[in-house]
Structure 1
Amino acid sequence: MGETNIFKVLADSQRRDILIMLRNERLNAGEIAEKLQITPAALSYHLKLLKNADLISEYKEKKLCLL
């Protein structure tokens, strides 16, 4: 995307909704997609734009399962 224009990123209502959701709690991508009722591909696009604008950050968390 080159230089990110934060105003263009924030112009989309779904991206603003994502920011509001993440302001209050940590959510994984599946939870966000479910709440917004959008496909994982669409969510991935929105998250990419938000990350490029430095509005969100991500981290990976390992889950351990007992067998």
Structure 2
Amino acid sequence: MATITLTDQELKILVDSLESSRIDWRDSLFDAELGCIGAPNVQEAQSRLQDVEAMLCKLKAA
């Protein structure tokens, strides 16, 4: 796995982007069409959302 070095500003942009995506994904869980996040069902969508939230927590801690 490659290592990527980010400046504080780049990290902030990435975290903001992930937080924004997380909100969009959470909203889409209630959509009739889950294809927008590539999830075949609600359980898979929730699992992917949890993965994103875990990554976001790790980035904020960095």
- Per the normalisation by structure 1, the TM-score is 0.34
- Per the normalisation by structure 2, the TM-score is 0.35
Q: Which has the higher helix share?
A: 2
